[in-house]
Structure 1
Amino acid sequence: MSTAFLEHVNVTVSDPEATAKRLHDWFGWKVRWKGDSLGGGTTYHIGNETSYIAAYTPPKATTPLSGDSYSHRGGLNHVAVVVDDLDAAEARIRAGGYVPHNHAAYEPGRRFYFEDDDGIEFEVVSYA
């Protein structure tokens, strides 16, 4: 059997260009592609050479997800990103006005969580 890996996740956001800027500021990711998308919407692919987040917005206004994603089948609970330097990543995220929480050290690494402008929860983890 060949090796499988996760290439991307696709999430609906309020402003894919702003999402791309935040992901660049936090993780150094680049826009791999941007353009017209499903139903007249716009998508940005933001990531590195092997994986990315597809940030999609439809042509009409969206509404925030209500309730706890963990209690909904198919809910996106969080997106985990591995970094080399957890403290430096946290400093960049805090500098943008975001509030990290749920810090934990566990074998084999350390982590924290935060929510972005669209309510998407990110887990930032380091195994260094």
Structure 2
Amino acid sequence: MGKAALRSTGDDVTIITYLSMVAHCLEALRQVPELRADLIDLRWLDRASLDWDTIEASVKKTNRVLIVEQGAVGTSYGGWLADEIQRRLFDWLDAPIERVTGRVASPSISKVLERAAIARTEEVVTALKSFVRP
């Protein structure tokens, strides 16, 4: 309880995610093989149980953060998490914290509208490509 899982390791970027987006992030990393990332599956979203030791060690190693969530940007956990990482680990960040989220829309019964609202592998791939160093 209260321990994050490191699903992949690398030195280029720290990806922080949870729930269904873990699989999307793993698939995105397979599609961008030139990027090596620490992929942290938070597993626990309770703020008191967040595994700051794992997050801190990874951010100090990679100096870059991508938070990946499925839900809409305005209702996400990631805004708080980005703020907290910025506050705690500012001296180790070499770039602004990036985020992948769903769009500002409500998920619905329509598959087309649902896909428009929810982030998936394609959005993660696009974000990861921005971290590839020339």
Structure number with higher relative contact order (C-alpha < 8 Å, ≥ 6 residues apart): 2
More strand by share: 1
More helix by share: 2
Q: TM-score, normalised by structure 2?
A: 0.27
